[in-house]
Structure 1
Amino acid sequence: MFTDDQPRSRFELSAFTAQGYERGRGVGWQLAWLLVSGVVVRSWWCPGRLRIAVLRSFGARIGRGCVIRHRVRIHWPWKLTVGDGSWIGEGAWILNLEDVTIGSNTCVSQEVLLCTGSHDRLARDFRFDNGPIAIGDGVWIACRSTVLRGCTIGDRAVVGAHSLVRSDVASGQVVYGCGP
C-alpha cells in the first residue's frame, strides 16, 4: 500500500502471471532437465558427444558435427535447433523461453547470451514480451555478445565481440557495439 508521499511504481509485479508463456513440457520433464543439465551437461568432465546425446534425448535438434562446449546453459533444449557443423562456445547462455534456431557452420562464441525473453515495459503487470531468435548459416557471433528476443541474423553475418543486437542483422552484414 502506498501513501500519498511515496512514489508509485510503474509496475504491479504481484499481478504478473506468465500468461501466454508455454514451457513446452510438463513439470516433471522440466525438473529432470534442470537436474541433468546442472550435473552432467554443463560439467567440464562431460564428453562432447555425451553432452549432445543428452541434449537430443531432451528434444534438442542438433545436426552432425556440432561442438557444444562445457558450461553452456540451455534453458529448454526442446526449443533449440542447431544445424550441422556449428559450434557453441564455453559459457554461452541460450535463454530460450521461445525457439532458438542456429544455422549450419555457425559459431556462437564464448559467453554469448541469446535471450528470447523480455517483458512489456508499458504493461502494469510486466507481462512477458518474448520472441524467437533465428541465426543463419555461416554466422559468427563473437564473445560476450548479446542477441535479444525477436532478432534474425542473416547468413554469413558477423556480430563483433561485446555487441548488443536488438534488431535484425542482414545477410553478410558486420555489426559491432550497440548495433542495429
Structure 2
Amino acid sequence: MRDLTAFTLAGYDKGRGRLVQALWFAVLNTLFMAWFCPARLRVALLRAFGARIGTGVLIRHRVRVLWPWKLTVGDHTWIGEGAWILNLEPVTLGSHVCLSQEALLCTGSHDHRAADFRYRNAPVTVADGAWIAARATVLAGVSVGRHAVVAAGTVLDRDLPELTLHTAAGRRPVEDPA
C-alpha cells in the first residue's frame, strides 16, 4: 500500500542552495524561456549557473532546464523550442545532438514498489550525433548511442545502441551519416 506521507527527499541532492535555486527559477521564468531572449544569452545564462556548454550550441525559446549545474552539452548541439530537460540527476548531450521540439529528458522517477514512493533517479546520456525527435521522451538511466534516433512521440525506457532507430513499432539500424 502506498503511503505518500512517508515520502522524503532522502538521497536526492539538488546540488545548490535554495538561494541559487530561487535565482535560477526567476531567470528561467522571466528571461531564459522568453521568445525575445537571444540564443547566445541562453547559453551564457546556463554557463553562469554552472552548465558546461560547448561552442556553437543553439537553444530555442520555451526550453526548460531544471538544474543548469547538472547539464553538460557538447559542441554544435541544437535544443528545440519547448524541450524539457528535467535533470534531477546529470544530463549529458554530446556534440551535434538534436533535441527537437517538446522532447523530454527525464532523469527522475519513483520506486513504485516502495510504500514511501522514494526517488529512483538516474542520469541520461545522449551520444554524439543522436537525434531525439519532436515530443519523444527519454527516461531515467537511459543512454542513447552515437547517431541513434528516437522517433517523434516515442518513449525510450532502455539504452539505445548506436546507429539504431527507435520507433513505436520497434528498433532497426540507421545508416551512419559519417
TM tier, shorter chain?
Answer: over 0.9
* Correspondence for 1:3: none
Report the Cα offset of residue 178 of structure 1.
7.0
| TM-score normalised by length of structure 1 | 0.93
Report the Cα offset of residue 24 of structure 1.
0.3
**Equivalent residue in structure 1 for 2:24, among 33, 38, 42:** 33
**Equivalent residue in structure 2 for 1:133, among 121, 124, 133:** 124
Count of paired positions = 171
Contact 1:164 1:179 in 2 (8 A): no
The residue identity in structure 2 corresponding to 1:126 is F
Give the number of the structure whose alpha-carbon radius of gyration is greater.
1
CA distance in 2, matches of 1:36, 1:160: 32
Give runs of aligned pairs for residues 17-28 of structure 1, distance below 5 A: 17-28=8-19
Report the Cα offset of residue 79 of structure 1.
0.3
* Correspondence for 1:60: 51
CA distance in 1, matches of 2:26, 2:89: 21
* Correspondence for 2:70: 79
Report the Cα offset of residue 177 of structure 1.
1.6
Q: What fraction of aligned residue pairs are identical, expressed as a percent?
A: 55
Residue 111 in 1 paired to residue 102 in 2? Answer: yes
CA distance in 2, matches of 1:144, 1:125: 30
Q: Secondary structure at the match of 1:169?
A: coil
Where in structure 1 are there 5+ consecutive unaligned residues?
A: 1-9
Where in structure 2 are there 5+ consecutive unaligned residues?
A: 172-178
**Equivalent residue in structure 2 for 1:16, among 7, 26, 30:** 7
Q: Secondary structure at the match of 1:117?
A: coil
CA distance in 2, matches of 1:179, 1:91: 26
Report the Cα offset of residue 98 of structure 1.
0.1
Runs of at least 4 residues off by over 4 Å:
none
| TM-score normalised by length of structure 2 | 0.94
The residue identity in structure 1 corresponding to 2:160 is V
CA distance in 2, matches of 1:14, 1:179: 39
CA distance in 2, matches of 1:113, 1:156: 18
The residue identity in structure 2 corresponding to 1:51 is R
* Correspondence for 2:175: none
CA distance in 2, matches of 1:34, 1:12: 30
